Amino acid sequence: MAWQTAAWLLLGGSTVLLFLGLPVAFSFLVINLVGAWLFLGGESGMIQLARNSVASVQSFALTPIPLFVLMGEILFHTGIAVKVIDGIERLIRQVPGRLAVVAVVAGTVFSAISGSTIATTAMLGSLMLPMMLARGYHPTMATGPIMAIGAVDMLIPPSALTVLLGSLSGISISKLLIGGIVPGLLLSVAFIAYIVIRVGMNPSLAPKAQFTVHRGWEHWRPFVQYVIPLVSIFAVVVASLTAGWATPTESAAIGALATILLALAYRALTVTNLLQALRGTVGISGMILFIIVGATTFAQILSFSGASNGLVQIITGHGLSTAAVVVAMMLVLIFLGLFVDQVSMMMITLPIFMPVVQRLGIDPVWFGVMYLICMQLGLLLPPHGMLLMTMKGVAPPPVTMAHIFQAVIPYVAMSLLVLVLVFLWPAVAVWLPTLLG
């Protein structure tokens, strides 16, 4: 079978199944079964498929995923998240769009301790959205910052999707985790600046409201008691990674243990919420591992059929500059973000993109950070952005999908600007991993 036919069958078949609504893991399972039978040799191919599937989830590099997810699950189920928001709110004085600014700052802090974008968005949406709407915030000003900062969770470690990207692409997981910090913080600052300027120009979007001003120690107590310890966990995780004291897995274990001990110290951890956190962790991690089985085997079959090598030769054989090839790959990712989820994007594109990155000598960390920004964009792009659906699920009925779609437009624009910034100045992505070494 010609490699062109194999490419259409494998890539086209998986895309069609995804668009028909079949879950990601099952879509690639079907294609893998067909591909193994055709390209790996019938019955012996099926045996090889089973062996590859087992081997793909035995990698020690995947262990941080459930540990990072567990950190966020404990934070949310124990109610510590509410205390963190209170601590941040007390420190932020009266600025235009104050509650929206609080949501962005709180979301940035949660990004440093939670490995799940959906959990961050759902939690902030259920806690802060009713408060903002009750104080007269326009639905677009209330929902936009929450969804935008939820997407930034993917860039700031710990991030389960970053670990997954590093594992599937072969990029250093620790460098990828650290490389997302500067772009993530730039986005957070840009969001705050936009909110302040936008509400300053149109105060009706976020009317001023009276809030209790605490004095003395009571003003600082929640921040010192809850926010600083959580940020300290983030600092310990990143420091252990960058100093070489621990692998990503060991750093994740340190972070998970510190989060549990912190919850115990606050007397917030009970048997009930611990079981809830563990169930959530098992559910999310099981789904991710099942997807990894499909992704790894799919890449192997695509390579064995000759489709990967054929597509790489087409891409590199047109005499395009390295910059043009990178731009084209980013445009493909943004286009896919309109229709498919982030894991599907990785499974469809990485088997093709990574050989091109290696062939052209592109810095893998630089490419990986831009890949993360494109996936972060996919979380916000209408009509199927995952965080748009999450926000609609937690928002009260007066907030329509039209409000949600309108709300994300400026934040998508800012994310595109940061993507361009990283493309033009790679140091934005690679400076910190290089410095910390």
Query: For the chain, which residues make up each domain, given as ranges?
Result: 11-436
For residue 63, the model assigns a pLDDT of 77
Which residues, including other chains, have CB under 8 Å from residue 71's CB and lie 6 or more apart? 113, 114, 115, 158, 233, 252, 255, 256, 259
Task: Please say if the pLDDT value at position 16 is more than 80.
Answer: no
For residue 315, the model assigns a pLDDT of 67
For residue 128, the model assigns a pLDDT of 82
Q: How large is the average pLDDT for residues 385-402?
A: 80
Task: Please say if the pLDDT value at position 155 is more than 80.
Answer: yes
For residue 316, what are its two tokens? Answer: 């590199």
Q: Report how far apart the first and last C-alpha atoms of the chain are (Å, whole number).
A: 46
**Cβ neighbours of 261 (radius 10 Å):** 13
Task: Please say if the pLDDT value at position 414 is more than 70.
Answer: yes
For residue 214, the model assigns a pLDDT of 65
Which residues, including other chains, have CB under 8 Å from residue 115's CB and lie 6 or more apart? 65, 68, 69, 71, 72, 153, 158, 159, 160
Range with the poorest average pLDDT among 4-13, 141-150, 327-336: 4-13
Task: Please say if the pLDDT value at position 340 is more than 70.
Answer: no
| Nearest residue to 339 (alpha-carbon basis) of 381, 370, 387 | 381
pTM: 0.78
Q: Work out the pLDDT band at 437, boundaries 50, 70, 90.
A: low
Cα separation, 319 vs 11, in Å, equals: 24
pLDDT tens-digit profile of 292-306?
A: 777 667 767 777 777
The average confidence (pLDDT) of the chain is: 81
Cα separation, 122 vs 143, in Å, equals: 11
CA distances from 376 to 18, 115, 117 (A): 20, 14, 9
Task: Please say if the pLDDT value at position 418 is more than 90.
Answer: yes
Residue predicted with more confidence, 13 or 359: 359
For residue 183, the model assigns a pLDDT of 92
Contact between 149 and 188 under an 8 Å Cβ cutoff? The reply is yes
Q: Work out the pLDDT band at 18, boundaries 50, 70, 90.
A: low
Q: How large is the average pLDDT for residues 108-131?
A: 77
Task: Please say if the pLDDT value at position 62 is more than 80.
Answer: no
